[in-house]
Amino acid sequence: MDRNQVIGFVLIALLLIGYISYNQYEQKKFDVQKKTDSVAAARLRPKIDSVAKTAATMPAAVNDSAAEALKKLQPVAFNGIAETVTLENKKLAVQFNTKGAYPTGASLKDYKTYGKSPLFLFNGNGNSLSAILPFDNGRSTSTLFFTPTVKKEADGSQSIDFSGDLGNGKKVDIIYSLPADDYMMSCNIVLTGMPAQSVKLSWQTIALHTEKDMTNERLNTQVYYRFKNNDNDYFTVPGNEEKTIHNDATTAWIGFRKQYFSTVLISEDGFTKADIKAGAKTEDSMVVAHNNCEMVLPLRPGANAQSAALKWYIGPNDYNTLKSYKMSMEDMVPLGYGIMSFVKYINKFALIPIFYLLSSFISNYAVIIMLMTIFIRLILSFFTYKSYLSSAKMRILKPELDVLRAKIGDDQQKMSVEQMKLYREAGVNPLGGCLPMLFQLPILLSMYYMFPSFIEFRQKSFLWADDLSTYDSIFNFGFSIPFYGDHISLFTLLMTASSLFLAVYNRNMTPQDPNNPMMKYMPYVFPVILMGVFNKMAAALTFYYTFSNLLSIAQQFIIQKYFIDEKAIHAQMQENRNKPAAPSKWQQKLQEMQSVQAERSKIQPRSNKK
């Protein structure tokens, strides 16, 4: 072997030794790195099954330590203990849950239930307000634990900042603020490090029973919503099923209204979409109805945070209070709807101002009802007088009508012509007794809507009625009578009795048409039918109708006794007969139509002959 071969083998051996040494060094380095990465991965993404299996075989103290160590590795908002925090002022106390940062209960300090217990508009599980965050595949705020920071101001206002740290610079704050003396609570949602244009909002409310009559309370439970274009709509919550409304139009506020209390969620920028679901079907005797709304809430852009501003009304359906917010929330007080919606304008512009004027210096609401009734009667006294005057004229003409009826017999068409001729000659308007009464009908309907809707009558007593906002009961049967109820309302009985007496009095003062026997009995049948309807109505309403009937009887007696002189009326009617009767415009038009018809009848036979 020569020198060159020896040198070649030595170099190959050195290269082989160097390669093997280098390969071993790299393999050792790779194993160390792999072990380090595995430990780091285990810390960031622990395997639940492995941890649980290992923890099961470990002592209790070691198991707790491991669980606590794992919790510390997660963001703060993912772990915690649910606690209750209260935000309150002079009027309202709202309880919040730190898990979810939403109100779970709201009590109104100035009001009590019918049983004199603290009044909670809603309370307990099933009440929530949550947002779907643009984080972790749409995590809901209801699953997060928030850290509350309560701030109290010198003026009595309070605020709570619920802060949820999601880690990696992501954060959500839900800030509630309550003024010192108001039912309107503000709610601001701030998202940091999670850019989005909107979030989906879920609002659930379970309304609790607070009044005397659960059936009537459920019948008066409605969902109202007002659009940004100032249009509004509502629906009554069904009792045997759920009702769902889908709105694509931008909604300014959504209100869940009970008989005398409401909770309203308001967006300053509007909800771009809203799905509203409500129903009253429940086995819980303390639950009136439930409400579930899914809305899309726009977010206001910011440098590193987006926010949304909400307001939340939790309070009474007091007309003046709702009106003061200038959001048309007073529309939730039902003053007339459907085909009777026109009466709400009478309430808004006439009766309600009178009511508040009287209540400013009179504390007894029964006295206010009586004064309003007297005031309205005085305003309508002119029309009442005209009605009674027309009845007197009809009564004076009755003997002559009886002579005509005996002379003509059963020819109703001819009798109607002669009767109208007699009225025209005597200067009597046959509708004079009806038209004035039509002016009183809108007032009666306005009261029908106003009195049961006004919270001012709630828990105000008068005589035997302990609450004017609901029915008075002097005896409970213990069972229900069809079309009547399970109790006796004395104000309803007095209303019925006074209506029957008024009908008898009017029958004696007004001539009856023998050709229409049904009209003879209707004034007596109608009050009896209404007795079953009004038996469950508010005592304020039945007392008003009772007092109004008594006032009508007295007013009619005074007018008939001191203001209507039948002898003078009869003399005036005879004088009218001696004057040439000038036909009215309607009569002239009728004569023209009859003349045209007569001319056509003359032309028609000639054309047939051709």
What is the pLDDT, as a whole number, of residue 508? 66
Q: Is the pLDDT of residue 53 over 50?
A: no
pLDDT at residue 40 above 90?
no
Task: Give the CB-side neighbour count of residue 236, counting CA atoms within 13 A.
Answer: 12
pLDDT higher than threshold 60 for residue 33: no
Judged against a pLDDT cut of 90, whether residue 359 lies above it is answered with yes
> Between helices 566-578 and 412-426, what is the axis angle to 10°?
100
Who wins on pLDDT, 101 or 239? 101
243 vs 282, residue with greater confidence: 243
Do 170 and 146 meet the contact criterion of CB atoms below 8 Å apart?
no
Pick the more confident residue, 551 or 16. Answer: 551
Cβ(290)–Cβ(278) below 8 Å: yes
pLDDT at 398 over 70: yes
In whole angstroms, how far apart are CA 248 and each of 227, 251, 294, 313, 411? 10, 8, 12, 23, 64
What's the pLDDT at 47?
A: 36
Q: Tell me, what's the pLDDT at 6?
A: 45
The distance from CA 573 to its chain's CA centroid, rounded to whole angstroms, is: 55
Bridge partners, 225 (sequence order): 233, 254
Secondary structure, 3-state, 526-541: HHHHHHHHHCCCCHHH
- Cβ–Cβ < 8 Å for 96, 85: yes
| Top-confidence residue, 353 or 608 | 353
Core vs surface per residue 198-222: b (16+ CB within 10 A) or e: bbebbbbbbbbbbbbbeebbbebbb
pLDDT above 80 for 64? no
Instruction: Return d(Cα 190, Cα 432) in angstroms, integer.
Output: 68
Using the predicted structure, report yes or no on whether residue 297 has a pLDDT greater than 70. Answer: yes
pLDDT score at 594? 54
Q: Is the pLDDT of residue 415 over 70?
A: yes
For position 607, what pLDDT does the model report?
47
* 62 or 75: which leads in pLDDT: 75
CA 489-492-498 angle, to 5 degrees, is: 140
Percent of the chain with pLDDT over 90: 48
pLDDT (0 to 100) of residue 401: 79
What pLDDT is attached to residue 229? 84
Whether residue 609 is predicted with pLDDT greater than 80 in this model: the reply is no
**How many Å apart are CA 300 and CA 493, to the nearest integer?**
60
Min mean pLDDT across 157-161, 310-314, 427-431, 456-460 is at 427-431
Instruction: Please check the confidence at residue 11 and state whether its pLDDT lies above 70.
Output: no
Average pLDDT, the chain: 82
Coil vs helix vs strand at 257: strand
pLDDT, tens digit (0-9, with 9 covering 90-100), for 154-208: 888 999 999 999 988 899 999 999 999 999 999 999 999 998 999 999 999 999 9
Confidence of residue 37 (pLDDT cuts 50, 70, 90): very low
Confidence label for 518 from pLDDT (cuts 50, 70 and 90): low
The CATH number that domain 83-333 falls under is: 2.70.98.90
Is-contact 103 187, C-beta < 8 A?
A: no
Predicted local distance difference test score (pLDDT) of residue 49: 38
Report residue 55's pLDDT band, with 50, 70 and 90 as the boundaries: very low
Q: Distance (Å, rounded) from C-alpha 164 to C-alpha 191?
A: 10
Nearest to 336 by CA among 219, 255, 452: 452
Q: How far apart are CA 351 and CA 451, in angstroms?
A: 11
Any idea which of 316-330, 403-417, 438-452 has the lowest mean pLDDT? Answer: 403-417
pLDDT in tens, 432-477: 666 666 777 888 899 999 999 999 999 999 999 999 999 999 999 9
Phi-psi region of 539 (alpha: psi -120 to 50; beta: other; left: phi over 0): alpha
Q: Does 81 or 69 have the greater pLDDT score?
A: 81
Q: DSSP for 361-374? A: T---HHHHHHHHHH
267-294: average pLDDT = 89
Amino acid at 598: A
Residue bearing the bigger pLDDT, 358 or 71: 358
Residue 555, pLDDT above cutoff 50: yes
Checking if the pLDDT of 30 tops 50, the result is no
How does residue 51 score in pLDDT terms, banded at 50, 70 and 90?
A: very low
Nearest residue to 430 via CA among 524, 499, 510: 510
Helices (H) and strands (E) in the chain, counts: 16, 20
Banded pLDDT at 597 (limits 50, 70, 90): low
Q: Where is pLDDT greater, at 295 or 438?
A: 295
Supply the pLDDT for residue 184: 96
Give the span between the Cα atoms of 477 and 537, in whole angstroms.
18
Nearest CA among 289, 223, 291 for reference residue 251: 223
Q: Per mean pLDDT, which range of 284-298, 355-369, 504-518 is the poorest?
A: 504-518
Whole-angstrom Cα Rg for the chain: 40
Averaging pLDDT over each range in 128-132, 390-394, 523-527, which range is the top one? 128-132
pLDDT band at 265 (very low <50, low <70, confident <90, very high): very high
**pLDDT bucket at 603, cuts 50 / 70 / 90:** low
Encoded amino acid at 566, one letter: E
pLDDT (average), residues 341-370: 93
pLDDT of residue 436: 60
For the ranges 16-25, 37-46, 438-447, 557-566, the lowest mean pLDDT is seen at 37-46
* Percentage above 70 pLDDT, the chain: 78
Q: Is the distance from CB of 333 to CB of 322 less than 8 angstroms?
A: yes
